[in-house]
Structure 1
Amino acid sequence: MTDPLSTSRAYLALADEHAPGLVEAFYLQGSVALDDYRPGVSDIDFVAVTAREPAAGELRTVHEALRRSHGETFFDGLYVTAADLRRDPEQCPPGLAVHEWRVLEGSRFERNLVTWHVLAQGGVPVRGPRPEVHTDWPALAERTRQNLAGYWTGWRVRAAFTPGAWTTSWGVLGMARLRHTLAERRVTSKTEAAAFALDAYDQRFHRIVREALRLRVGGEPQYRSPVHRHLDLLKFTAMVLAEP
């Protein structure tokens, strides 16, 4: 079973070996910071603060070595400076990141206010003190609404043709999480969002919410028919997107 802290310590040992002095501070964010990490389901999400501009080659060496020893779970994150974290991420230039074991150059992966807010709310320091992080709730709320109107509206159109367990969990919990975040004025977790949806939405949607939660945390299936499950997913997501 993958443990985020032990994987992070293995990463730091490799970074210190192959890129001495590069990583000044290292934090876990995402599901770990939101107390919603699920082994076998969640990725390990990180923010590495560097003392200098990393070279893509040295990061590939580090992450390939980590993949060989701890490759059961994706170890995704980005490389920034301490100064980057103190300003609006929209003003930060693209940089190096890692997604599904690939080192990305000139990437905006995870350089956004969600990452900054999660880091400020509950980022887990593995190396270094708690970071100073720029936050801006009004801007995050506006971008959350834009995400619903943009990405998620388009996603629902595509999801009509891609039934399956992953689609169900991603769509129901992803959209509910954004509505819950707006209601709570903080970034919330997918598991919290399921509880919110069961409380906030009509009972006719509870079955699909419970199924999406079951796909994340385990339990008995709520559906015998994948067709009925997919139809309920589409009804639920249409309702969430229609909310003002």
Structure 2
Amino acid sequence: MTPYAEISSKYLTLADELLPDRVRGLYLTGSIPLGDFRPGRSDIDGVVVVDRPVTQDEVRPLHTGLPERPYFDVVYLTAPTLAAPPDLRASVVCTIDGQLQAGGVSPVLWSELARQSIAVREVPGLKVHDDQQALVDYTRANLTSYWAPLLDRVENRFADAPGDEVIDGWIIPWCVLGVPRLHALLAEGNIVSKTAAGEHGAATFPAYAGLCRRAIDHRAGTEVVFTAADAIDAVAFGRTVIASAGEL
């Protein structure tokens, strides 16, 4: 049994014991249905369909009974909520890095659920509002509202650092695989995995192919050392990708 299958099964067992008849469905999203789950790198992402909105206190016992890693990161939503367009102003119960909190929703999650999810517990007749134009619009906005400022912060952090300074391993893959993932969606119309995003970046922007492949190797579990010079290259790559996305 895979780690995510085992943890998902344990979660449903706890849910049925502690919140009987409340958890109607569990769908895995993210890297698992895309075939890109990497032990030690990936989290378990998903959507829990509940009979009515839950509070953090109601579901906390379910999560305290799960292993700490991989993180079991889920969003609690009702079937009627999923049948309508996502309310970007809404705050819903979710877990991020395994911690319960109030979070937002987006067309990305709706599209993932509708197109690329695995039903661990299926809700008969579940309807999910999947709007391609909303997905595209949200993706374009995310490139400028999240990724562009993040690249600015990375540049400011490492602009004056020695080029050979070793930096935290997650920073470069996060940027190098994240930005082309959105470019791939705009180019191909669908959500791709982080690994596929790196391959898309290498093929579409060959000047940065080496950086993309190192990020892919890191995601696969290979020990890769990244430096401040790589961070500056990642910023240049990210800005190139964002500029190209604006022309799609």
The TM-score with structure 1 as length reference comes to 0.89
In structure 1, the partner of 2:221 is: 218
Q: Which of residues 96, 99, 106 in structure 1 aligns to 2:96?
A: 99
Distance 1:153 1:2 in 2: 36
Q: What letter matches 1:22 in structure 2? A: R
- Shift of the 12–143 alpha-carbon distance from structure 1 to 2, 3 Å rule, reads same
The structure in which a higher percent of residues are helix is: 1
- Shift of the 197–53 alpha-carbon distance from structure 1 to 2, 3 Å rule, reads closer
In structure 2, the partner of 1:151 is: 146
Post-superposition offset of 1:220: 6.5
Q: What letter matches 1:183 in structure 2? A: A
Q: Secondary structure at the match of 2:75?
A: strand
- Shift of the 237–15 alpha-carbon distance from structure 1 to 2, 3 Å rule, reads same
Q: Secondary structure at the match of 1:31?
A: coil
In structure 1, the partner of 2:3 is: 3
CA deviation map 1:156-181 (0-9, x unaligned): 01112164321100001000100011
CA deviation map 1:166-214 (0-9, x unaligned): 1100001000100011111011111111111121113x21111111111
- Shift of the 91–144 alpha-carbon distance from structure 1 to 2, 3 Å rule, reads closer
Q: Which of residues 209, 212, 224 in structure 2 aligns to 1:209?
A: 212
In structure 1, the partner of 2:163 is: none
Q: Secondary structure at the match of 1:38?
A: coil
Q: 1:120-131 residue pairs with structure 2 within 5 A?
A: 120-129=114-123, 131=126
Post-superposition offset of 1:103: 1.9
Distance 2:210 2:233 in 1: 8
Post-superposition offset of 1:49: 0.7
Q: Which of residues 152, 169, 173 in structure 1 aligns to 2:173?
A: 169
Contact 2:199/2:213, CA 8 A, preserved across alignment: no
Q: What letter matches 2:62 in structure 1? A: V
Distance 1:128 1:139 in 2: 25
Q: 1:79-118 residue pairs with structure 2 within 5 A?
A: 79-90=76-87, 93-105=90-102, 107-108=103-104, 111-118=105-112
In structure 1, the partner of 2:183 is: 179
In structure 2, the partner of 1:65 is: 65
In structure 1, the partner of 2:73 is: 76
Q: Secondary structure at the match of 1:14?
A: helix
Q: 1:3-42 residue pairs with structure 2 within 5 A?
A: 3-42=3-42
Report whether the alignment pairs 1:198 with 2:192. no
Unaligned runs of 5+ in 2: 159-166
Contact 1:181/1:188, CA 8 A, preserved across alignment: yes
In structure 2, the partner of 1:141 is: 136
Distance 1:220 1:87 in 2: 44
Post-superposition offset of 1:91: 6.4
Contact 1:25/1:48, CA 8 A, preserved across alignment: yes
Distance 1:22 1:132 in 2: 18
Distance 1:44 1:51 in 2: 22
Q: State the 4+ residue runs in structure 1 displaced beyond 6 angstroms.
A: none
Post-superposition offset of 1:229: 1.8
Q: Secondary structure at the match of 2:87?
A: helix
Q: Cα RMSD between the aligned structures?
A: 2.0
Contact 2:29/2:112, CA 8 A, preserved across alignment: yes
Q: Secondary structure at the match of 1:33?
A: coil
Post-superposition offset of 1:54: 2.2
Post-superposition offset of 1:2: 6.2
The 10-residue stretch of structure 1 (88-97 or 18-27) with the greater mean CA deviation from structure 2: 88-97
What is the aligned residue count? 235
